[in-house]
Amino acid sequence: MAKSTFRLLACAASLALAAPAVHATQVSATMAVNATVVGACVISTSPLNFPAYNGSSDIDAVTTIAVTCSNGQTYSVFSPTTPRRMTGPGGAVLNYSLFTNASRTTELPFDATGTQRTGTGFAQNIDLFGRIPASQSVTPGSFSHTVTVVVDF
């Protein structure tokens, strides 16, 4: 191949590479993107363990529940469990109460009429205060009860 033919081919190749690219015709459209965020709550509980009781005085205990609700979601906490009494040996009962304040003056409601709270999207700890009143005449032994705690939202 002669030098002039080679140069001619090299020039043609470089011109082909330098030529502007031809684009296809383009069209576009918009697309809506939608979502619905629903309020949600989750609750976790810890046992309420009272110290030994001999009937001579009130016995108090405290536990914490954790409630995680969506940010801005309002909710209340209650316990429909009634009566609030533990059972023990031979069907003996030991009465107790659950309160939402340390002074034990506001009982945990039995329905959704309790204090409205607002979720943050993070766990919110709520203390529950228990009390076994004095002067209950019961058989010695172990007493227990299962309580349902509800988050209404």
Domain residue spans in the chain? 41-141
pLDDT tens digit string along 3-52? 554 454 454 555 455 555 667 899 999 999 999 989 999 999 999 999 99
* Angle formed at CA 122 by CA 121 and CA 127, multiple of 5 degrees: 125
pLDDT tens digit string along 64-103? 999 999 999 999 999 999 999 999 999 999 999 999 999 9
The letter for the amino acid at 56 is S
Average pLDDT, the chain: 89
pLDDT of residue 7: 55
Q: How far apart are CA 114 and CA 78, in angstroms?
A: 7
Stated pTM of the model: 0.76
CATH 2.60.40 at 41-141, yes or no: yes
Encoding tokens for residue 33?
Answer: 């993107």
